[in-house]
Amino acid sequence: MDWSASGSTLISSSYLEQGQQALQRRRKLFRSLLSERRLPTRGWDDHSIELFLQEVAAMDSNNFLDNIGVGEREARVASGLVAHRHYGLAHGIGRSGDIAAEQPKAAGSSLLAKLTNLLTKDALRLAGFGDLGTVSVIPVATGMAITLTILALKSSRPSGAEYVLWPRVDQKTCLKSLVLAGVKVVPMPMMHIGDQLCTDTSGLESKIAELGSANVLGIVSTTSCFAPRAADDVVAVAKLCAKQDIGHIINNAYGVQAQQLTRSITAAWRRGRVDAVIQSTDKNFMVPVGGAVICAGSKHDKLEREELLPRMQAALASFAQAHDPNAPPGKKPSITFLGSKLFSKCVSGTRVIARGKAHTVAGYSFQGYGSHCDDFGSEYLTAAAALGTTMNEVHEFLHRLGICMKQYAKHAGE
């Protein structure tokens, strides 16, 4: 927009020119984003982001100045507050069941959807993924994404393929997602190696032979999960799936922030079969649940997380050596007492696992639920070095945990 001709009759032309230059600088940012189609090296300020969204939204038909909508799908929004929160973007994405299709009434929304996929792909590349193919951001959370992916996989497999082998992970969402897809889930036990639970590749191969590969839809492996379960050996699983010609879906819910996992996934689809890798936007990019906004700065945050992990592990090991969690014989209180004390100290995110807990999920019964195996051998609590966590938070967590441990020991002696 050139305001110099008419605007100069209202204010000084030198001031107007300076303002025009500021606008042009932002327009240059917009053009660069659309032409380069990757995350900018330096993040935009909020005003630039809002200006870009407002201009893009103005290209949707519901925001045309002279638009008259007489159809049933005209992006009508009853609440002005809701419309404002979404910048007037109300048409959604996709068309007639094709989420990648352009929406004729919404050039702006369609442009944002395409751009989001491209920026996400660039973010995954920065996170350590190599040889990326198609990347799509869909407006559902991780669990529903697993369900939809399983349903898509079913359409490409023989009609009798109804079994999904699932190396056990005690997180409810994945199992419920598989059950919702209408498949027969076969939970597979993990191998106890040292202090970790690892993938039993031989057990998977034996189960495929028992069921018949034609009857197996695929394997759903997991990378990101709570200790003591280790990430599945996705390379070995990918090789097995390629050998048996069965599907392979990787649940990488919050694994984008761990370069070791992104590299192993890259090796998996280079050396074997990987049909889909599913990860969460909120856990990896610090946006609201179900969001699809890719924020600049994620590379920096991810590097901080990579540096934090060994420091947090060392701090926890030092803490464990300094505190004896064992109460006197016969007087040991439930470890859930420790969990409740942590919660009362405003510590969130820790998982306190007691031995012997039985739980039923989607009709499947598990012993020792929460530890990913029937009996891990001890009670424990977990803490995660997740994206956005700082070392100051780790130190404060250990300080509060120390207070709770003293209360735990005192309670044991009563």
345 is in an annotated binding site: yes
73 is in an annotated binding site: yes
299 is in an annotated binding site: no
331 is in an annotated binding site: no
270 is in an annotated binding site: yes
248, 221 contact by CB (below 8 A) = yes
Question: What single DSSP character describes residue 56?
Answer: H
Q: Got the DSSP string for 98-167?
A: BTTS--TTBHHHHHHHHHHHHHHHHHHHHHT--S-------SS-HHHHHHHHHHHHHTTS-TT--EEEEE
311 is in an annotated binding site: no
Count of CB atoms situated within 10 Å of the CB of 363:
8
Count of CB atoms situated within 10 Å of the CB of 303:
13
Residue with tokens 């990860």: 279
Coil, helix or strand at residue 291: coil
Q: What angle do CA 39, 43, 49 make, to 5 degrees?
A: 95
Q: Got the DSSP string for 239-273?
A: HHHHHHT-EEEEE-TT-TT-HHHHHHHHHHHHHS-
| Residues in the annotated binding site for pyridoxal 5'-phosphate | 73
| Residues in the annotated binding site for tRNA | 270, 345, 410
| Residues in the annotated binding site for substrate | 95-96, 103
| Residues in the annotated binding site | 73, 95-96, 103, 270, 345, 410
